[in-house]
Structure 1
């Protein structure tokens, strides 16, 4: 009987620790999401503008729209990440 009480107590402690960790990780994610929301929105806007312009230029040159969308999607993502990486390097050099 004593062993089952200890096992049950250990089980409850494990449940408490796990639930605390989940709460903390969720709160951290919310804080990070809120802190970087403007950055995410700016990146999404930049991607949308880049893709729209690229697809328009590509289709105007006579290429198929689906091929242009695929090519432009990849090019614009690469461009956004390149600019983002440059910004991170700038921030590192300021530290």
Structure 2
């Protein structure tokens, strides 16, 4: 799918509890919570395969996931950053 990362700082005062937290956050249970309650695209395919995510309220998420699996990236079509940047520069210049 897609992914985010988490790590434990090498100078952490509590590396073992921090590692346990990271382990939980990238695990199945947290992934299901992030997807179900947080509306986040899961980083684990095993999460997405759960039957509850076939519910129609997750249909839009399924469309995004299909695009990621097909193309590896999704480029926003409604957010034209070039236009945004030029408008911002014009605004800053008082135009």
Give the TM-score normalised by structure 1: 0.29
Higher helix share: 1
Q: Who wins on radius of gyration, i.e. which is larger?
A: 1
